Amino acid sequence: MEIAAVAQGRAYVRQDIGQGSSFDAEWLALIYAVEVAGLLGVKDVALLGDSATVVGQASGRVKCRGDAIAHHARFMASIPAGTSVRVRLIKRTQNLAGIALARLHDR
C-alpha cells in the first residue's frame, strides 16, 4: 500500500507500508494527514477524503464495524489535544492526495 496527504501545497507520500484493503489505505491516509498537520503545527484541521464509508465513519456519522473499529480508535488517538479535526467528503477528481499518488505511476 501507499498513502499520501497534501498540506500547504505539498504532497507527503508514504510507500511500501504493507498490504491491506482500500479501506485500510483510506484510514491510514487520514491518520497520516493528522500526523502531518501536527508536524506543521496546524490546530484547525480539515481532512478531505473520497471514500464515503471512511469519511462517514471517521466523522461519526456512520457506525464502524469490523476492522473500522480499530482504525477509528487509532484515528481518534492520533488527534493531539487542542486540535480540531473535521472530515469532509469530496469527489475523487478533487482528491489531491489521490492525484499525487496517481502521478507517481503516470496514471
Give the pLDDT confidence of 15-72 residue by residue, as tens digits: 999 999 999 999 999 999 999 999 999 999 999 999 999 999 999 999 999 999 999 9
pTM of the model: 0.93
Q: How confident is the model at residue 106 (pLDDT cuts 50, 70, 90)?
A: confident
How far are the Cα atoms of 30, 62, 65, 75, 103 from residue 3, in angstroms, in the given order? 9, 23, 22, 15, 13
Residue 105 has a pLDDT of 87
Domain of residue 54 covers 3-104
Contact (Cβ atoms closer than 8 angstroms) between residue 64 and residue 72: yes
Residue 34 sits in a domain of what CATH number? 3.30.420.10
pLDDT tens, position by position, 14-25: 999 999 999 999
Whose CA is closest to 82, among 30, 42, 33, 43? Answer: 43
Q: Quote the number of domains for the chain.
A: 1
Quote the CA–CA distance of 15 and 101 in Å, as a whole number: 10
CA 99, distance to chain mean position in Å, is: 14
Residue 17 has a pLDDT of 95
